[in-house]
Homo-oligomer: A and B are copies of this chain.
């Protein structure tokens, strides 16, 4: 139970205009986040609750898919980044001078860490296939916000890496991951408007990689969706000069939508196993290359995308499973606090989470409390007042419904 009486939160009366997206403004207004510096945020208690709920849904689905959670380091050895030749190539790589006259990487991604890590383990075909993932803070040395939106220097990400004996096994895993991802986005309430989108495979593969793009007016990407078969393409792979042609059904009929990337999956093939000589002995003791894939989901980015998706002009109507709490209890008189705590404890026994607005002596009025409940995006409001207690009950208001008096 979160009690607001000793809780450092002070929602703002008006929405701060800090960027061209509503979500950041509303998250700041509701005091879910504060800014430490440009594109670096602090999560306050309620913001952190939302972030952790998103994180836990992602974790559950990765565990369900049989991946093993690990925690790699944020600091990376320069040797590893030199070995893939990416030390001087990845322009968002933070390079950290250390007091030992060395430099460390502040990892923006973990292929350079996970591949030698897997190399310590993999010897023969018996050690394959497997997948590891982590949920961890990543760092990017961003020069400027490319389209003004959703770029951070520090953010929370889930990155999963799979290791395979052959391409067929990678393919099967990769196809299954598409389903796992769509299940995640379903549980996060954005499935309907999230498109699996073909994108460039970089220098890793001749095949495409896949992005998961959620339709948003403020999205940083243009996606080209085929009118016939709904296949979605990132603009970067569309032949803009000769006009769109669907890679799946060859139709030229399409629509262009603004979207924001919430995840991506990549067939890494042998790009990193080559660099780190990651091989295994097959059944006949023949040396073979390990095939890899990687699979990212931006956890803090998702918080913003979901906020934007569920925002109206006044507040964010969080889906109930992501809101910072299930119930918001407003209590107006000191004498009723005990009763309110009783109700909260009953709800907690049913695994519901509760914010108790017990700011009595601070003389916060009912209007402010009701407003904060809306601003926090809590779907169920309970009011306990002399009036409701006269009727031996409390007032329950569910989002979008009429209030009812529940007998105590």
List residues of A whose CB falls within 8 A of some B CB.
2, 6-10, 34, 36-37, 40-45, 48, 51, 66, 68-77, 91, 94-100, 104, 106, 113, 117-118, 120-122, 126-127, 129-130, 132, 137, 139, 141-143, 153-154, 361-362
Contacts and interface: CB of A to CB of B under 8 A. Distances in A.
12 contacts: A10-B127, A36-B73, A40-B73, A41-B73, A42-B71, A42-B117, A73-B154, A74-B154, A75-B153, A91-B99, A96-B96, A97-B97
B96 A37 contact: no
Main DSSP-derived SS at the A contact region: mixed
Contact of A44 (B7, B70, B77): B70
A130 B70 contact: no
Contacts of A34: 117, 120
A-B complex: 10 closest residue pairs judged by Cβ atoms: A43-B71, A37-B77, A45-B68, A36-B73, A8-B121, A40-B73, A99-B143, A126-B362, A8-B130, A42-B72
A157 to B, nearest CB: 14
A169 to B, nearest CB: 12
Given A37-B104, A42-B71, A94-B96, 17 more contacts: A8-B118, A10-B120, A36-B72, A36-B77, A37-B77, A40-B77, A42-B73, A45-B132, A48-B70, A48-B71, A51-B71, A74-B137, A75-B139, A75-B153, A96-B106, A98-B153, A126-B362
Given A94-B98, A96-B106, A8 B68 contact: yes
Nearest to A38: B100
Contacts of A104: 37, 153
A70 B43 contact: yes
A350 B135 CA distance: 28
A42 B66 contact: no
Contacts of A121: 8-10
B99 A70 contact: no
A376 to B, nearest CB: 14
Contacts of A122: 8
Residue among A69, A71, A99, A154 with most chain B CB within 10 A: A71
B45 A100 contact: no
Contacts of A41: 73
A74 B94 CA distance: 13
Contacts of A143: 99-100
A130 B6 contact: yes
A6 B129 contact: yes
B98 A141 contact: yes
A127 B8 contact: yes
Given A43-B70, A127-B8, A95 B94 contact: no
A322 B196 CA distance: 41
Contacts of A100: 143
